[in-house]
Chains A and B, each alone.
Chain A
């Protein structure tokens, strides 16, 4: 089965840029989606199809995907961006999620 690998945690200084990676075999050939989940809340879609932002998601959120790594980039990080972030792809008739990354804003 296809596996997505995310770092357990990422830290970023307030106002700086955070990058959260999602690794998978030739993931660049797939479409990757990203979700933000704050404590006690349901996940919220922040990026779909590698780099598209749903309405209402700040431009500070962006995504890229190439080779074996997809990346969610959060520019000018704010305290409100502290959350768990999950990547997701479709592979072999299964929706697959990464293990999640906890983003801490220092």
Chain B
């Protein structure tokens, strides 16, 4: 079955760019049929959708984050990545990657285990 694993620095300085990668195993991103997503969860809070990408590179972003977010895909490595620029302490969160299921209607399954990113000097 498909599994996802996030990786990247756990500490980022304010004003810098947060960069994370999600490695997909058990399935190929380039086979199509699914979008691939990033979702975050602030400490002790709820879930916030960041955006998703198709293997072709087509992206959709949360309007509230769109100006700072870039999601990209590397099909040769079966990975997709998140970049969030100009971070502040408010971007401290657990970041999850997930597969997006469904065509016009989307749900997330499965999810990676998540990685905590702290923004601090």
A residues sitting closer than 8 Å to B (CB atoms) are 31, 33, 35, 41-45, 48-49, 54, 86, 88, 90, 93-100
Residues of A contacting B62 in the complex (Cβ-Cβ under 8 angstroms): 94-95
Find out whether the CB atom of A45 lies under 8 angstroms from the CB atom of B46.
no
Interface size band for B: 20 to 34
Interchain residue pairs with CB less than 8 A apart (27): A31-B105, A33-B107, A42-B96, A42-B111, A42-B113, A42-B114, A43-B47, A43-B111, A44-B110, A45-B107, A45-B110, A48-B102, A48-B107, A48-B109, A49-B105, A54-B109, A86-B46, A88-B108, A93-B60, A94-B49, A94-B63, A95-B62, A95-B106, A96-B49, A97-B49, A100-B46, A100-B47
- Please report the number of residue pairs spanning A and B whose Cβ atoms sit closer than 8 angstroms: 54
Find out whether the CB atom of A88 lies under 8 angstroms from the CB atom of B107.
yes
Residues of A contacting B113 in the complex (Cβ-Cβ under 8 angstroms): 41-42
Residues of B contacting A49 in the complex (Cβ-Cβ under 8 angstroms): 102, 105, 107
B residues sitting closer than 8 Å to A (CB atoms) are 37, 46-49, 60, 62-63, 96, 101-102, 105-114
Find out whether the CB atom of A43 lies under 8 angstroms from the CB atom of B49.
no
- Residue picked from B48, B105, B106, B107, most chain A C-beta under 10 Å: B107
A71 to chain B minimum Cβ distance, whole angstroms, is 17
